[in-house]
Structure 1
């Protein structure tokens, strides 16, 4: 990515609408003079880099940690202190990601979430307000400094090994698979008609295509596959919006929070299931003590297997995506999502009619949802869930995720999400490299006494049910044993 190009908006600190910071936001969050001329990205960046250096204010960790509110947010990156308060609403990864990291060292989070952090650092300069005092450690004192240093050294090693370089052929193979399956479904119904057996067969083809597209969507949300960011953005909108029918901006904002604060309640949206489930050890007790009973949580493991997993994508996530698009004015995303439905009506409408095509869409999403829900939840629901503990990046991700044993089936049909530990440690790493770095990650876990959990896939699926039953038991004990408050 060159300086003239515009960074991709997949959780990074800048996007194409933010390369000119001159007219709107300064480090103190106040508007700048409106008459200042806009500069090209390279010229402005060079001008900023050429500013005379000033002596920076110094801060202690105690001072920084006080700035952890929605209206007062400071971050530390590589010992530099940044005030992101006035700029948080412009963050492409969503303001909540910055809220979640306020008052903390965000060095490893920043490096993990940005495919090309060098260009982003240029635009951190207007937000720079100081640095850590010389006597302060690099991280907060509750963190294991040796583990942090070892992890950062591991990342540098992997960068030297080119483990973050994407293989275009790999991803185009997966994209081709999705397109061929969908095209084949249309050709079959066009040639043989819409009888029951044909309908069931194309239903199966479309379900496999949508499941594989879910994993490709996951890739596009994290990676800069192309060197030019405009192509990355186009590919992301095509895969997530046109092929999947979801808002790309909504997905990026939600998923960025999940990665930054994995299994941290309530910061990770993937462990906040509204009234439908209680998960982990803390949330069930909280609900029970407060006599909260939206649903019979004693049976939550049963309705996850039947209703919950099936409705996750066609109902829960679909409605949340639509709500976000309209409330936040994601007009470009609305246009892309519209093409998803238009394509289905054009290709299958002549055979099934409008209502029949809608039924086909949601039946496909329903069956796909069963598989994707199990694949995504098997590595998180059974693992540690907690409130904010401000652990180091390595520990927080390893304890909140687990792997599923490698095999051709597990790799291909889970979109390599069986390597959740490596994926969460290195979100911008192409998934075809996970198995190469896994031994190094496992070795670092062993060195520092952290569990590296690797399970057979059937055990991983079963652990979802066992974890939900355990959480239900905690809720029941708190609900029935404590007097109403």
Structure 2
């Protein structure tokens, strides 16, 4: 078995299949076929441990709890509608809707239900109807991200008109934007407050242009229903000015929740050049960062704190990611692949330090782990 260039199966981006239809014998034969590569052996281990099996009970409990929380926030909004304290439920609403967005993410990866149709329906409901974001738009860019995380020219998540996530982008900045880029680490956390607005603007733009958006009219209908109910309920309950303030607080809190959960996953990890070919496992592991912590970190990050395991096995149900971590850690240790895990606060320190280094074009002080791996 080679220890230098483990390869992914042809079904990359790496979603290990669920239990094979046809019984235990068929599943055993399929596992034997997959075990011919290092990645296949790792896949067989997590399969044998039952980590790819659906966790319907866990997900239905999570859906019920999130729905109950949404109802409580709605009740609190009604009770506080005559007071400016109603802005407190606005922030709470952002937290709850973020949890629905995480469920939409899990369904999009086929983690919840057995059939693609049911998962896709759930994704449309959670993303478009509840969160007000186009599922088709998100699915398109997220698929490209999983195929080539942190790779220039493929992963749109590392291209921004505001922040520079790599030195090539920073070098092209001019005027006031150049000054901003040199200090971008300082502005990173405050900018998260605008992430909710940005997500909705990009989602709406994709629906209007029709580019790379699957089932555009389904999303559009659900999003119109979302904002119709939202706006009419807010104005009728609180009046226009208080409703506008409610919306502003909600969007800012939503930005912190969403951006705060996604930023630690890849920001500050190695950037892959446009034409560079990297084997599947190193591409997924070296560009991903895990965030350590207990149940609270699991909750606020929607399970994405196990980013390495999620990228290796996108269809693995969220509750199983923690159980998969020892398998992946051992695999990486055996094959000499650096496995990155930091605390939540530690991940943000790394992000801010990295953004400052990029802004200052500090090439001599930044050593790319990916380049080191490739050279070795």
The TM-score normalised by the length of structure 2 is 0.82
Give yes or no for contact 2:110–2:116 (8 Å, CA) kept in 1.
Answer: no
- 1:175 paired residue number: 63
Query: 2:19 touches 2:53 (CA, 8 Å); kept in 1?
Result: no
Aligned match for 2:246, one of 349, 354, 360: 360
Q: Which moved more, 1:437-446 or 1:292-301?
A: 292-301
Match of 2:262 in 1: 376
Deviation at 1:321, TM superposition (A): 0.7
Judge conservation of contact 1:112–1:427 (CA < 8 Å) in 2: yes
Tell me how large the CA RMSD over aligned residues is. 2.7
- Aligned positions of 1:255-334 closer than 5 A: 255-273=142-160, 275-285=161-171, 287=172, 294-296=177-179, 297-306=181-190, 308-314=191-197, 316-328=198-210, 330-334=216-220
Q: Which has the higher strand share?
A: 1
| Residues 190/326 of structure 1: CA separation in 2 closer, same or farther (3 Å cut) | same
- Alpha-carbon distance in structure 2 between the residues aligned to 1:455 and 1:422: 15
2:39 equivalent in structure 1: 151
CA contact (8 A) 2:285 2:339 kept: yes
2:374 is aligned to none
Give the C-alpha shift of residue 389 in structure 1.
Answer: 1.8
Larger relative contact order, structure 1 or 2 (CA cutoff 8 Å, min sep 6): 2
Runs of 4+ in 1 over 6 A off after TM superposition: 113-118
How far residue 432 of structure 1 moved from its aligned partner, in angstroms, is 0.6
- 1:112 — aligned with what? 15
Name the residue aligned to 1:94.
Answer: none
Distance 2:9 2:335 in 1: 21
Q: How many angstroms does 1:254 deviate by?
A: 0.8
Post-superposition shift, 1:191?
Answer: 3.6
Query: In 2, Cα distance between the equivalents of 1:280 and 1:169?
Result: 42
> Whose helix fraction is larger, Structure 1's or Structure 2's?
2
Alpha-carbon offset, residue 158 of structure 1: 1.7
Give the CA deviation at 1:175: 2.1
Match of 2:370 in 1: none
- Give the number of aligned pairs: 339
Structure 1 unmatched ranges of 5 or more: 1-77, 79-104, 119-146, 478-485
Instruction: Say which one has the larger Rg.
Output: 1
Q: 1:163 maps to which residue? A: 51
Q: Are the structure 2 counterparts of residues 391 and 164 from structure 1 closer, same or farther at C-alpha, using a change threshold of 3 Å?
A: same
* CA deviations over 1:287-331 (Å, ceiling 9, x no partner): 26xx6874531121122222x2111221x2211111111211711
Structure 2, unpaired ranges of 5+: 1-6, 22-34, 365-376
Shift of 1:110: 4.8
